[in-house]
Amino acid sequence: MPAALPPGDPVPADGSPPPAVRAALPARADRPLGLYVHIPFCSVRCGYCDFNTYTAADLGEGASRESYPDTLISELEFAAGVLEESSAPARRLSTVFFGGGTPTLLPAEELARILTRARELFGLVEGAEITTEANPDTLDDAAAATLAAAGFTRVSIGMQSAVPHVLATLDRTHDPANVSRAVAAVRGAGMEVSLDLIYGTPGESLADWETSLREAVAMDPDHVSAYSLIIEEGTAMAAQIRRGRLADVDGDDHADKYLLADRILAEAGYSWYEVSNFSRGPGTRSRHNLHYWQDTDWWGAGPGAHSHLAGLRWWNVKHPAAYAQRLAAGISPGHGREVLDDEAVALEHLMLRLRIAEGLDLAEHAALDAAEPVTAETTSRLVAEGLVEEEPLVPDEVHPAGRLVLTLQGRLLADAVTRRLAG
């Protein structure tokens, strides 16, 4: 792998990767390449959110909602130039994911225009997965039809909860009734539907969470994401909890709600493929999210977006105005970059692979330079404690040393299992 670079190493104005990364690119020609497109606008900033989002309609030249698509397209053009100058092997995009923020606060025609330019610059593999996140209140039949005509294949709808008081605590302003309307619009346009849910909100009972799960399942989505609420420092919700206005999150409550989600979703025909993600089958998994968990490459476009290419990671300046100014000057919007050292690579590989249903390929992990050996004694203990499945540990032709796959109990304790295996 390329030699380690310290976090925050400056990104050169032309965006060129270090020589060692350039040399590593040809060996990754057969790995998928994804594109993440960040739309930083929201109508209301939710109290739990620490994403790089803004409620102002106009954030300066090149960063208003009207001008932002052109600014974003200029980064896509810059990216294509960087890859060409780096002599990187040509790779068409396997996935494109529009996230935010609320991408659908931009007109569907603008999202379509951004996607069209990405297709022109990079190309798309046959059957590419093209997703946008959407707030239920911002999606109707006409918008869904425009997205589908442009090539979008999937919409991830921010349902979060079906219970009004839970939505109010989360500062979510959408009408719960609009979720089913948005699902119908997406279905009517021929696209796949994913529903995003959050559990563990202060004041949410187990019955509230069950209501949300059952209403989600009743809409028959292709995919469900069920995320535990994490209180991030600096958010409005963290301040409310610190002042005693809201109860703090409770780990036992989160565990009970995860177990309930797994049971209800399994009964409805959904299986887990990542700790927080469930799908009808392999064909409806989020391939873009799998890029992040399986060490593929992606370019992140937009303010604050992160990218990865052959071991190199970099991230853009956060404020949309500063982002726009750099691109207008013809220089990289990158703010800092790093290449992890061998020990960090091994730890991350362990952590991410354990989160997915395919599990940790023990032979692949052992081949990493700084990986801690996973002994038979360790795996036997984990099996005995009910944290990993026994059957996948049996070697086969594809996995000559077997795989480490978490049980349901292991998923609840994924971080603890990772710490034990990391030594």
Q: Which has the closest alpha carbon to 192: 227, 156, 159, 158?
A: 156
- pLDDT for 38 equals 96
**pLDDT of 171:** 84
> Cis (ω within 30 of 0) for the bond into 101?
yes
Closest CA to 63 of 329, 300, 319: 319
Q: Give the model's pLDDT for residue 52.
A: 62
Examine the pLDDT at 1 and tell me if it is beyond 60.
Answer: no
- pLDDT tens digits for 51-103? 666 766 657 676 788 999 999 999 999 999 999 999 888 899 999 999 988 99
62: nearest Cα among 53, 75, 47: 75
Bridge-based pairing of strands 403-404 and 154-160 is: unpaired
Tens digits of residue pLDDT in 200-219: 999 999 999 999 999 999 99
Rg, the chain, Cα only: 22
Residue 1 is which amino acid?
M
For residue 39, give the nearest of 115, 91, 92 by alpha carbon.
115
**pLDDT on residue 386:** 98
pLDDT of residue 9: 85
Q: Give pLDDT tens digits for 305-362.
A: 999 999 999 999 999 999 999 999 999 999 999 998 899 999 999 999 999 999 999 9
Residues 248-265: tens digit of each pLDDT = 788 899 999 999 999 999
